Amino acid sequence: MAKKPPDTSKRKPRYTMDEGAAGAFEGETVTRRKFMTGSAMAVGGVATSAFLLPALGFALGPQLEDSTPDRWQDMGPVGDFNETTYVPKVMNVVADAGEAGKHTVYVRKFNPSRDSKRTEDLPYVAISNRCAHLGCPVRYIQASKRFVCPCHGGVYDFQGKVEGGPPVRPLDRFYTRVRDGRVEIGERFSVNSQLRRFSVRDPSNHLDGLWQYLYPSRPST
């Protein structure tokens, strides 16, 4: 019995002339239109990558950087601090900046009954006086156990979390340690509403949810 020849009626033509493409010539397998369309898409893909990859690296880079402090400043003997109130201290937030780099930091001993477990690895709590709204200096009020910003009415609780007003996140903090009976503070870091640590952000930069990726760290802060 003779074999039935294969059905080629639905096979895609190999040559453009067989497709009936306008302007096609014998032996041509790709039309100029298809070639130009493919080339334009390839160039568009390269251009898009040129924009997206640097932006992605800019956003994710701070999440991968080493945040271990490498500079420590003496804040005084451990006897100067307790768990119930903050002691204002002056430090230099920018190395070798002189008076222009002076910064007030509020320091107290870690309180296991009141402080978040996210911060229990730091023996002392050191909070920046820079408001997370626009950077105005805040003051700690012992009577109410709150930090208050006189500029726009920002209010923070005893842990530096936002309690009222326009600030978008808690007050920044500093790494702390004890060496030879003296309290030292290291580099500054920012925290979100759950006190999870992030590399330093500018005032007004949110840190909860997807906002943490939209506001990458800037070394100048």
Do 81 and 60 lie in a common domain?
no
Q: Is the pLDDT of residue 123 over 50?
A: yes
- What is the average pLDDT value for the chain, to the nearest integer? 80
Of 36, 64, 92, the domain-final residue: 64
Do 89 and 167 lie in a common domain?
yes
Amino acid at 157: D
Residue 69's pLDDT is 47
CA–CA separation, 119 and 62 (whole Å) = 20
Structural domain contains residue 9: no
CA–CA separation, 109 and 76 (whole Å) = 12
Q: Are 127 and 173 in contact (CB under 8 A)?
A: yes
Q: Is the pLDDT of residue 153 over 60?
A: yes
Do 202 and 109 lie in a common domain?
yes
Q: Tell me the two tokens of residue 97.
A: 């900046």
Structural domain contains residue 220: no
Residue 77 phi/psi, 5-degree rounding, is -70, 155
Query: pTM to 2 decimals?
Result: 0.67
Do 139 and 45 lie in a common domain?
no
Question: Mapping DSSP to helix (H, G, I), strand (E, B) and coil, where does residue 207 land?
Answer: coil
Do 108 and 28 lie in a common domain?
no
Do 83 and 179 lie in a common domain?
yes
- What whole-number percentage of the chain has pLDDT above 90? 52
More confident position, 153 or 59: 153
Do 79 and 28 lie in a common domain?
no
Q: Are 129 and 108 in contact (CB under 8 A)?
A: no
CA–CA separation, 157 and 76 (whole Å) = 25
Give the contacts of 89 (CB within 8 A, at least 6 positions apart).
75, 76, 104, 105, 106, 107
**Most confident option among 51-55, 93-97, 142-146, 213-217:** 142-146
More confident position, 14 or 198: 198
Count of the separate structural domains present in the chain:
2
Residue 200's pLDDT is 92
Domain limits for position 175 = 73-214
Concatenate the DSSP letters of all residues of 115-174 into one string: S-GGGTTSSEEEEE-B-TTT-PBPEEETTTTEEE-TTT--EE-TTS-EEESS--SPPPEE
More confident position, 65 or 187: 187
Residue 110's pLDDT is 96
Amino acid at 121: D
Can you tell me the mean pLDDT for 139-159?
A: 95
Residue 143's pLDDT is 95
Tokens 């156990």 correspond to: 145
- What is the number of helices (H) and of strands (E) in the chain? 3, 11
Q: Are 170 and 161 in contact (CB under 8 A)?
A: yes
Structural domain contains residue 57: yes
Do 23 and 119 lie in a common domain?
no
Q: Is the pLDDT of residue 106 over 50?
A: yes
Q: Tell me the two tokens of residue 117.
A: 């477990």
More confident position, 51 or 107: 107
- For the stretch 34-85, pLDDT in tens is 656 666 677 677 666 655 655 555 555 544 454 444 689 999 999 999 999 9
More confident position, 66 or 101: 101
